[in-house]
Amino acid sequence: MEAGFLPRTRFQKLLDTLHQAGYRCIGPQVRDGAIVYDTLSRAEDFPRGMRDRQSPGTYRLERTDSPQFFSWANGPQALKPFVFAPREPMWRSERTADAAIRFSEINPAPEPLAILGVRACDLAALRLQDRHFQEGPFPDPGYAARRKNLFLVAVHCTHPADTCFCASTGDGPRATQGFDLALHESDEGYLVQAGSDKGHALAALLALVPVTVVQQQDADREVEDAARRQTRRLPARNLRDVLFANLAHPRWEEVAERCLSCGNCTSVCPTCFCHSAADETTLDGHHSLHVRQWDSCFTQGHSYIHGMTIRADTRARYRQWLTHKLGSWHDQYGRSGCVGCGRCIAWCPVGIDITEEAAAICGGGKHD
């Protein structure tokens, strides 16, 4: 994969080229005290100089003099909402005068999106969501339509948060798969690398200058440093057997006393895929819309079957989440469902730390 250099002063050229190729650009920006991903079109819209501080239950941004746009670790939002929509109409039904029911598809026609600033953990998570939503026996049409239209501009992570542990899951901090372009950012500009035919074609329009050996060495060293600076880790990449051998561990009860069963972890998790559908009927009774939205295994309704709830208490729900995420994902998709992004740690209102819980149940230290 050849790389070229894009000077910082020409970053706007990347956005303009993407626009000209027909993409709406989505990028990181500061909103309500957090970095979120939304539409932007100007280089000035990026979170220049922003740094984050994250720890269990805490996320804070601060401004620095750095000219860099990507010198922070992920905020709450992942790629997930752009492919697995938080709320989405599935189909429509209509009751006609002769009491027949007509069903009609809602064919999503998503516009092409270019998402800038995607991290390695989220690319790994996207790969897992692809497996779940479009590579099984029943591909999901809405997901597939949005997924097909993405152009992904990754950024190699150089500023991991205290909550990050992608090095231990093997998913980061370097973006190695799933991107069209990948950037390494320095104060002077961007090393640009293409990862797909679409990416090559677009890079060819950027009039990149050759990368020097020193530039490449500095870039590689920064990403390696980012991996080394991570303090959290999971005890092992495959915890399936040890988790299922410890279903009666007292720690489940202990964590349930802290867990609020709020579902924040599942909302911010880039791999959680649960959803529920319900009908919304018009007041005249002639039309009904079948709508699905994200659900969470921490809700009462998630495991409800007539007259009983399989997971009535928080202990059972936390245990379900963790044994699925780190355990039964291996049965379903051949790897753990955790990509080490650390969002569930920062965004848990009581600061429950998945690496700490996994270590308590499976053995192995949380810190190096």
Partner 1 sequence: MINPHLPVEAEVVERVQESPTIFTLRLRFTDPVKHAAFRFAPGQFNMLYLYGVGEIPISIVSDPDDERMFDHAIRVVGRVTRGMTQLKAGDRLGVRGPYGRGWPLKQAEGRDIMVITGGLGCAPVVSVINYVIRRRDKFRRLVIMQGVKHSDDLIWRSQYSQWSKLRDTQVLVAADVGVALWPWHVGRVTELFDQVKIDPARAMIMMCGPQGMMQVAVDNLHERGVHEDNVYLSMERSMNCAVGLCGHCQYGGKFVCKDGPVFSYSEARSLFGMRGF
Residues that bind partner 1 (CB under 8 A): 90-91, 93, 95, 99-103, 105, 132-133, 136-141, 144, 244, 247, 273-279, 281, 285, 288, 290, 292, 295, 297, 302-307, 310-311, 315-316, 319-320, 323-324, 327-332
Taking the complex as a whole, the smallest distance from the CB of residue 139 to partner 1 amounts, in Å, to: 6
Among residues 46 and 133, whose Cβ is nearest to partner 1?
133
CA distance 150 to 271: 18
Return the C-alpha torsion angle 69, 72, 76, 82, nearest 10.
Answer: 40
Whether the Cβ atoms of residue 355 and residue 366 lie closer than 8 Å to each other: yes
Q: Which of 73, 54, 51, 75 is nearest to 63 (CA)?
A: 51
Among residues 22 and 139, whose Cβ is nearest to partner 1?
139
Taking the complex as a whole, the smallest distance from the CB of residue 342 to partner 1 amounts, in Å, to: 22
Facing residues of 37 across strands?
A: 28
Whether the Cβ atoms of residue 121 and residue 175 lie closer than 8 Å to each other: no
Residue 248 CB contacts under 8 Å (≥ 6 apart), including other chains: none
Taking the complex as a whole, the smallest distance from the CB of residue 289 to partner 1 amounts, in Å, to: 10
Among residues 145 and 227, whose Cβ is nearest to partner 1?
145
Among residues 99 and 213, whose Cβ is nearest to partner 1?
99
Taking the complex as a whole, the smallest distance from the CB of residue 300 to partner 1 amounts, in Å, to: 11
Would you mind telling me the total number of residues written for the chain in this entry? Answer: 368
| Residue 191: strand, helix, or coil | strand
Q: In what order do the strands lie in the sheet with 113-118?
A: 34-39, 24-31, 113-118, 150-155, 181-185, 189-194, 3-7, 209-210
Taking the complex as a whole, the smallest distance from the CB of residue 362 to partner 1 amounts, in Å, to: 17
Taking the complex as a whole, the smallest distance from the CB of residue 105 to partner 1 amounts, in Å, to: 5
Among residues 215 and 288, whose Cβ is nearest to partner 1?
288
User: Helix %, strand %, coil % for the chain, to 5?
Assistant: 35, 25, 40
Among residues 132 and 229, whose Cβ is nearest to partner 1?
132
Among residues 34 and 256, whose Cβ is nearest to partner 1?
256
Among residues 228 and 286, whose Cβ is nearest to partner 1?
286
Taking the complex as a whole, the smallest distance from the CB of residue 252 to partner 1 amounts, in Å, to: 9
Taking the complex as a whole, the smallest distance from the CB of residue 184 to partner 1 amounts, in Å, to: 36
CA distance 190 to 208: 10
| DSSP letter for each residue of 48-116 | TTEEEEEETTEEEEEE-S---S--S---S--SHHHHS-SEEEEEEEEE-TTS-EEEEE----PPPEEEE
Taking the complex as a whole, the smallest distance from the CB of residue 103 to partner 1 amounts, in Å, to: 6
Output b/e per residue, 136-173; b: 16+ Cβ within 10 A: eeeebebbbebbebbbbbbbbbbbbbbbbbbbbbebbb
Calculate the CA 162 to chain-centre distance: 18
Q: Write the CA distances from 106 to 82, 89, 100, 345, integer angstroms.
A: 18, 7, 19, 37
Taking the complex as a whole, the smallest distance from the CB of residue 328 to partner 1 amounts, in Å, to: 4
Among residues 20 and 282, whose Cβ is nearest to partner 1?
282
Among residues 16 and 295, whose Cβ is nearest to partner 1?
295
| Residue 183: strand, helix, or coil | strand
